[in-house]
Amino acid sequence: MLHFPVLLEESVEFLIHKKNGHYIDCTYGRGGHTSLILSSILPEGFLTSFDKDPEAFNHGLLKRDKNFKIINESFCKLNSYFLDETVDGIIFDLGTCSTHFDDKERGFSFRQEGPLDMRFNTLKGIPLSTWINSAKELEIRDILYKFGDEKHAKIIARAIVNLRKDKPIETTIQLADIIEDIYPERKNKTHPATKSFQAFRIFINNELDELKESLEMASKVIKKNGIIVVISFHSLEDNIVKNFFKPDIKSYPKDIPLNSIEDKKFKCIARKIRPSEEEVHKNKRSRSAIMRVFKKL
């Protein structure tokens, strides 16, 4: 299956406010947003796209335009490449591409047998199998609660630890079967392993910490009047984004009424934008997307 870019026109319309500006696409993926940004800017404009997945760029649909550069690196390294206040717009389209789930060798999907890896960057860090076969039961439980909001975290963690004694957990289906076998609710529409796979993916890629770090950097490298667009796919990401740009209440005197406090650094110019019914109909994956847009003051 191809990857369909989510909220494509809406996000790029907010992002491009100067056709000769310098922009960053933090999540190249399969180049959906990158392509539209490139066709929306003038040759004097410039786009730099990041993706930590080395395979993202192998699919290179794009010709290497003169005003375009790709960097195979995590977006939390933004400040190694850009000076403060030098960029006009930054976009994050978080999470996974549909193509990650299609490639069984990447280990993201509980529907296809593959090595239990789940790393965006297969050249760095450890695959999920290494961690899951050595982590303490309590650690596994905490990850399932924290990143998957999985109410059966305790029994899943126990089953993993018990069953790995007989045979190390090396594949996606092995893990999915362990979860399915002990999962109390059997008639749900969603697969019992859905939340666990999300939790392990977030953990193994350090997704939430990297998002926090990169927002910090994005807020520095963006110019005054520059735009930051973030498309999130679950509440853990969206809460980080929302709270990052909230005014720092502690820095105001206590006697100032809360509703009179405005952030001096960023203004939220679009909150909680969701895909249209038409987009959700065409691309089911877009249904959980939430876009927020901020302008640096």
Ligand X SMILES: C[S@@+](CC[C@H](N)C(=O)[O-])C[C@H]1O[C@@H](n2cnc3c(N)ncnc32)[C@H](O)[C@@H]1O
Residues near ligand X (CB under 6 A) are 3, 5, 26-27, 29-33, 50-53, 56, 74-76, 93, 95-97, 120, 210
Comparison of 29 and 89: residue with beta carbon closer to ligand X? 29
- Smallest distance from ligand X to CB 183, Å: 28
- Smallest distance from ligand X to CB 136, Å: 26
SS3 290: strand
Asked if 128 and 118 touch (Cβ cutoff 8 Å), the reply is yes
d(CA 30, CA 118): 18
Give the Å distances, CA to CA, from 109 to 115, 126, 173, 230.
Answer: 10, 18, 9, 25
Structure-token pair, residue 117: 């890896």
- Smallest distance from ligand X to CB 34, Å: 7
Comparison of 103 and 149: residue with beta carbon closer to ligand X? 103
- Smallest distance from ligand X to CB 217, Å: 12
Pairing of the two strands 87-93 and 222-232: parallel
Comparison of 77 and 158: residue with beta carbon closer to ligand X? 77
d(CA 167, CA 156): 16
d(CA 51, CA 159): 35
- Smallest distance from ligand X to CB 231, Å: 8
Comparison of 58 and 188: residue with beta carbon closer to ligand X? 58
Structure-token pair, residue 237: 């990401």
Comparison of 141 and 292: residue with beta carbon closer to ligand X? 292
- Smallest distance from ligand X to CB 179, Å: 24
Comparison of 79 and 133: residue with beta carbon closer to ligand X? 79
Structure-token pair, residue 254: 């206590």
SS3 140: helix
